[in-house]
Amino acid sequence: MSSQENLVSAPASMNDGRSQTRDIIVNGLWKQNPGIVQILGMCPLLAISNNLVNALSLGLATTAVMAMSNGAVALVRNLIPHAIRIPVFILIVAALVTVVDLLMHAYLLSLYLVLGIFIPLIVTNCIVLARVEAFASKRSTWHSVLDGTFMGLGLTLVLVALGVLREAFGKGTLLSGLDLALGPQAAAWTIKLAPGYDGFLLAILPPGAFIGLGLLIALRNWIDLRKKEHGQHPA
């Protein structure tokens, strides 16, 4: 009897594991996207998204920090006294941000100088601390790393979309500044979208960031509304 119960429970636990993994991925990229659903981390989101390269670089740096922070906190969560958990979490995040900051300073100096203070400010980004406190301090290491990774990628997608919109309308280009990350030879890879187009200044100024973010939020809400309508009326 016990062997039959084991055979039944094993597939059930596997299905539960797959379901949790799928939920984490979908939540990070869509349902609980930090940029267009939770509306967290607005400072770097609006300040650095003036072109695609800057947006992608900061998004990937934030993703790396979130994945490592969630994993580190999940590993030691049972050793941290509840009363001092927030200072300890911030200390862990700060140590990992310092590692990312130093690596970018060593190997991507030009890009590091452009991103400036926004790399160290990942420490105070409410998205990072929110996921560490709400998820990693209560869940397994694997799921915590997965949550940090896909929450970071969800933010990166929003950054990239904003970067593409603002650079395309503001400068009429894509991939400008790629030489900062890949060297001088990458300057030739900049794409000019429309010959003679001088750009629309508002798009690369702070108001353009707010307008672009509002459009992305509206698009996401419209897609969700359409899904609900189709669900209610299958025909």
pLDDT of residue 41: 82
Give percent of the chain above pLDDT 90: 72
CA–CA distances in Å: residue 222 to residues 44, 226, 228, 234: 25, 6, 10, 18
Q: Is 174 helix (H, G, I), strand (E, B) or coil?
A: strand
Looking at every residue in the chain, the average pLDDT score rounds to: 89
pLDDT for 130? 92
Q: Residues 147-182: pLDDT tens digits?
A: 999 999 999 999 999 999 999 999 999 999 999 888
C-alpha distances out from residue 59 to 11, 142, 208, 224, Å: 37, 21, 19, 24
Specify whether the backbone of 205 is left (phi greater than 0), alpha (psi in -120 to 50) or beta: beta
> Which pLDDT does position 8 carry in this prediction?
44
| Mean pLDDT on 13-22 | 80
- Residue 11: pLDDT band by 50, 70, 90 thresholds? low
The stretch 6-27 carries a mean pLDDT of 74
**Cα distance between residue 32 and residue 131, in whole Å:** 11
Contact (CB, 8 A) for 74 and 141:
yes
Q: HSE-up of 52 (CA within 13 Å, CB side)?
A: 17
- Give the pTM: 0.90
Residue 51 pLDDT exceeds 80: yes
Q: Residue 33 has which token pair? A: 């996207």
Mean pLDDT confidence for 71-81: 95
pLDDT for residue 192: 92
Q: How confident is the model at residue 1 (pLDDT cuts 50, 70, 90)?
A: very low
